Amino acid sequence: MRWNSPLRPRNFRATPDEDRFLTTAHTWHATYRGRIAPTPTGDMHVGHARTFVAAWRRAADAGGALVLRIEDLDPLRSRDEWTARAIEDLTWLGVQWTEGPVYQSRRRPVYEATWRALRDAGLVYPSHVSRKEVRDAAHAPHEDEEGSEPVFPPELRPTAHAGRDAESPAGVVWRFRVPDGEVVRFTDAIRGPQAFTAGVDFGDFVVWRKDDVPAYELAVVADDVAMGITEVVRGEDLLRSTARQLLVYRALGATPPAWCHLPLVRDAEGRRLAKRHQALSIRELRARGMTPDEVLAQAEAVRPGA
């Protein structure tokens, strides 16, 4: 059965894998479908190892499918060599995916179609406000959350119909207009009930970048819908992003997946691991002669309170 969704662009010629992702999503929801989605901007660390192994095990335990998706949208930071190294590390860890790899860099038509659907619904708008203007506005960032950003001031929004006649998202930042005051609720498999208030905990968020790259919040929703993902397993630093993404799911008329946000792996000082922590990269630990089980044990050892 053909999937007549705004995410399937007209006249889009897809590869067999892409066509499957765009035409049978509705039938997939009867079974478990997970995904692992490395970003090829550096070597993966032990935190990635734990998350991807957990996602694989949850899919295997459910007797479901696991899609390997390479999130290589950023042309300046993503490199083929990092992709190859990520796949090699995942294979060494024993992670077994059933579909893919699928590359986001080859799926621009899907993201453009998603942007058009949001534009036609009047839920996104072009924003010429600079980052400095947002930072200088009265709405302070959430200092208690790593990687947080200032809440976009609603007074800096354009008129309600701005951008409705735009033919392309290129050349300007596009933001999703959040429903101020609405509480977005969901239940996480680990963290339990969650609630974030639009306009308070997060503001109008970017869905398309000025350098003509689809933003994370748009791309992952478009892909997870098209690929029929039924559960997303990732780090708890993305809990707030889940609230944003649920608004995009609703705007597209799509059913969201279940959520499972794992505690972050941190270094000895309690800081969240990043790819710059080479001493805790999977590749470095492999070079020291560690086994996959020892690498996963290391992930627990460097997390305070584990």
- 180: domain CATH number is 3.90.800.10
**Same structural domain, 102 and 116:** no
* Residue 155 domain flag: yes
Dihedral (CA of 179, 246, 170, 129) sign: positive
The residue out of 166, 181, 208 marking a domain boundary is 208
- Domain membership of residue 57 (yes or no) is yes
Q: Do 35 and 77 belong together in one domain?
A: yes
The pLDDT tens digits of the residues spanning 155-183 come to 999 988 898 999 999 999 999 999 999 99
- CATH number of the domain to which 288 belongs: 3.40.50.620
User: How far apart are alpha carbons 154 and 139 in whole angstroms?
Assistant: 10
Q: Residue 137 falls within a domain, yes or no?
A: yes
Same domain membership, residue 195 and residue 124: yes
pLDDT surpasses 90 at 150? no
Name 161's Cβ contacts closer than 8 Å, sequence gap at least 6. 122
Q: How many structural domains are present in the chain?
A: 2
Contact partners, residue 84, CB within 8 Å, separation at least 6: none
Q: Residue 280: pLDDT band by 50, 70, 90 thresholds?
A: confident
pLDDT for 24-71, tens place per residue?
Answer: 344 444 599 999 999 999 999 888 999 999 999 999 999 999 999 999
303 has pLDDT over 60: no
What is the DSSP annotation of 4-19?
--TTS-TT----HHHH
Decide which of 208, 242, 275 is a domain's last residue.
208
Domain assignment present for 85: yes
Alpha helices in the chain (DSSP H): 16-23, 25-28, 46-61, 80-93, 108-120, 131-136, 216-226, 239-252, 282-287, 292-301
Q: Do 79 and 126 share a domain, yes or no?
A: no
Torsions phi, psi for 124 (to 5 deg): -125, 155
138 and 196 within one domain: yes
Please give the pLDDT value at position 143.
43
Least confident of 125-139, 186-200, 251-265: 125-139
- CA distances to 7, 59, 208, 258 from 174, rounded to whole Å, are 18, 35, 5, 27
Q: Which of 147, 123, 155 lies closest to 247, judged by CA?
A: 123
**126 with 175, same domain?**
yes
| Whether residues 94 and 144 fall in one domain | no
Mean pLDDT, rounded, for 93-101: 96
Under 8 Å CB-to-CB from 66, ≥6 apart: which residues? 33, 34, 35, 36, 55, 56, 59, 60, 96, 97, 98, 99
> Which comes out higher in pLDDT, residue 129 or 268?
129
Q: List the domain range (segments joined by +) for residue 204.
A: 112-208
> Domain check: are 199 and 121 in the same one?
yes
Mean pLDDT of 287-298: 89
What is the DSSP-derived secondary structure letter of residue 129?
Answer: -
Q: Rounded CA gap, 28 and 239, in Å?
A: 25
Domain boundary among 166, 189, 208: 208
Longest dimension (CA), the chain: 60
| Better pLDDT: 229 or 296 | 229
Strands 231-235 and 258-262: parallel
Tell me, yes or no, whether 229 lies in a domain.
no
Same domain, 116 and 188: yes
Are 202 and 116 found together in one domain? Answer: yes
In a domain, 97, yes or no: yes
Cα pseudo-dihedral 67, 73, 79, 84, rounded to 10: 0
Residue 241 maps to a domain: no
- At position 14, the amino acid (one-letter code) is A
Do 121 and 198 fall within a single domain? yes
Mean confidence (pLDDT) of the chain: 85
Q: State whether 155 and 187 are in the same domain.
A: yes
142 domain residue, yes or no: yes
Q: List the beta bridge partners of residue 70.
A: 103
CA dist 127 → 79, 154, 183 (Å): 29, 12, 24
Of the listed ranges 101-105, 208-212, 293-297, the one predicted with least confidence: 293-297
Whether the ω angle into residue 101 lies within 30 degrees of 0, i.e. cis, is yes
